[in-house]
Amino acid sequence: MRLRHRFAVLGVAALTAVGSATACAPTAGAHPRQPADAGATPRTRAVLDWLGHLPDRGLTHRTASGFFAGYSGADTPESGKDFAAQYRQVAELADRTGQFPAVLACDYASGWTPAPNPAPTRIDTGCNQALIDHARAGGLVSVSVHLPNPVAGAPWRGPLPAQDFRSLTDPATPAGQAWRAELDRIADGLQTLADAGVPVLFRPFHEMNGDWFWWGGQAPADFTALWRSTYDHLTGTRGLHNLLWVYAPDCGRGDPTDHYVGKAYADVVGLDCYSNSPSTIGTAGYERLLGLGKPFAFTEIGPGSGSGGTFDYATWAAALHDRFPRTSYFLAWNGEWSPARNLNGAALMNDPWTVNRGSVDTTAVAADAPAAVFQDFESGTQGWTGYHQLAGPWKVTEWASHGTSSLKADIDLAAGSAFLNRVGPLDLGAETTLSLTARTALWGNHAGGTRAKLYIRTGTGADSSTWTWTDAGAKPVDAKGTRFTLDLSKVPDRAHVREIGVEFAPAAGASGRTAVYLDDVRAGGLLAGFETGTDGFARTGGTGGPWSTAGEGAADGTHALKAETDLAAGPVTLARTAPADLTGAAALTAAVGAPAGSTARLYLRTGGSADPSGWTRSEGPATPVDPDGRILPLDLTGAADLAHVREIGVVITPPPGGTGPGTVRLDALTRHR
């Protein structure tokens, strides 16, 4: 349960904003994503919701991998449609990286054919079986279409004249009729996937802002009209409700939103981006597309021309971390662009952020948590400043451990420690923990590595020399991010907080400019951390424990509560029955890990009498959990008699049909005001 690296999976409810009395903007992952198609199937909705919330999953498993399996068909190899030969590259990728991609893509049409304009009859959907097999193995699928030109005699490459392009939406014209026939052949293939229960990331008209396809370089209004008529035909006339529509311009051609088709006609936005230096790709287009409020993807990636198999795919992993952290998935192209045929493809496919086939769980979406109040920098710097920094701090969207924004400042690595801080006075008298996530950028010479510490300064007088400094100790911090937690229980005068902050201390020999980031500042009351024992918790059901154990499984600190269970024997409950007063609490959270496929529910029993039959039970949503751990929320809004809490616990239900032994863990039971 590596939860210290995944603490923002579900979004924690009703937290206190340190130094803020008002709620910030809601986090991006608070509610289910809604597809453009109101009639979308439940599976299709689940895929969109899962992709949309991936970047909110904390510091691991937040970007799905993808790979292009080839152009569908069995024509001559020079046509680019020998799918069987291209499909073997999927196994090649797995052999060389140890991973199958989460998203597998194919193209129904002709690819970069040497023919001047292939006939519409060359649309082929034979790759469907490979896509169905991939979906049944736990993956997602995507379909693109390098469309034949439906205008008779017109070339496949290069923009179609505007008048001809507009005629495609008129079914009375020969071009409009040919286009409708072409769409119906595509629809037949998509229907096969629908019949198999397979949702599709459907990516038509890609790179429309370029000038190399017949649909490229068109007036935005004309392009939008064709997209929308295509959507209406496939979704309305043909009744295809398994489609997620992917809008994918090229990353090197102006404002990628110029041809945007509208939120009611797109589900995912992305960029096709080929570069030998991903770290130098501008972020403006990425940020413009994020601003549309849809999940973002790199819908095609690969090296630029002339790499000759020497491209380093580890640079794409670094770029996703450092420049494009809210990427829901990437899709690497095959052939000379394949990660298997260049350098360090395994580094990208096995990066801690990458989700591959086998780890796709579309049931593991964000729960509808109660309204949250964070100091999360969604609305600005929220009173934070800094000193000994070069520039900033600013609110930025290029990285976030929770939501869409964080606090950033630039520092000089050769100039010693730099600080980001929030000056008081603040009142943390009712809180027992303070935590946040810190990070550095990849750039700059970090030498032996930068370290950071979370600190607090408290005192009742105006003389700063009398204030008490308390910190959580220095820990390494890098581009992957580190969670820091400070135990406030022994901090004097915490009702009179003068300053909270983070000190970033570069290593000896470090040099150059870099950036530092903060996000997800939380203050709460830790009810059970299991650092010195079981904290009064007992087990009902299961086969052994509970014990306080060190090592993996600790969400904060070094220990968690562990119990053993028989997966075939039903639920196991970990609970404490000691009386407690939670007056004023708005929510509880706890970190829970269990075998994959399990669900867990946090609950509370309250009552003023000694008779258990009169106690009231409040419980949170049943939440999918896994061995890496999830945060369970329990909204206490409206809960009865919080001054007389009789029992707090978690019920963990094994996966249906599960057998054999299993381990469950609990940590960081926390009260939030």
618 token code pair: 């409040």
Give yes or no for a cis peptide into 546 (omega within 30° of 0). Answer: yes
Give the residue among 339, 328, 269, 248 at the shortest CA–CA distance from 302: 339
Cα–Cα dist 121/247, whole Å: 25
The residues, ordered by sequence, that sit 6+ positions from 475 with a Cβ below 8 Å of its Cβ are 451, 452, 453, 482, 484
Write b or e for each residue in 550-566: b if 16 or more Cβ atoms lie within 10 A of its Cβ, otherwise e: eeebbbbbebbbbbbbb
Q: Which string of b and e fits 369-407 if b means at least 16 CB within 10 Å?
A: bbebbbbbbbeebbebbbeebeebbebbbbbbbbbbbbb
Q: How far apart are CA 100 and CA 89, in angstroms?
A: 11
Closest CA to 438 of 379, 539, 516: 516
Going by the DSSP 8-state scheme, the letter that residue 511 receives in this structure is B
Instruction: Please state, in angstroms and rounded to a whole number, the distance separating the CA atoms of residues 141 and 201.
Output: 6
Q: Is 552 a catalytic residue?
A: no
d(CA 297, CA 286): 9
Measure CA of the first residue to CA of the last residue in the chain; give whole Å. 26
DSSP 8-state assignment for residue 629: -
Burial zone of 538 (CB within 10 Å; 0-12 exposed, 13-18 middle, 19+ buried): middle
Q: Which residues of 207-233 are buried (b: 16+ CB within 10 A; e: fewer)?
A: bbbbeebbbbbbeeebbbbbbebbbeb
Cα separation values, 131 from 128, 139, 333, Å: 5, 9, 16
Residue burial 180-200, b: 16+ Cβ < 10 Å; e: rest: bebbbbbbebbbebbeeebbb
E-strand stretches of 377-512 = 384-387, 391-396, 406-412, 418-426, 433-440, 451-458, 468-471, 475-476, 482-487, 497-505
Show the tokens assigned to 499. Answer: 């300053």
* Contact call for residues 108 and 47 (beta carbons, < 8 A): no
Q: Which residues pair with 516 in a beta bridge?
A: 409, 440
Catalytic: which of 78, 92, 182, 300? 300
In the numeric block, the tokens 């399990």 are attached to: 598
Residue 303 token pair: 């090296």
The verdict on whether 378 is a catalytic residue reads no
The answer to whether residues 484 and 521 touch, using CB atoms and an 8 Å cutoff, is no
Among residues 92, 182, 207, 564, the one annotated as catalytic is 207
Active site residues: 207, 300
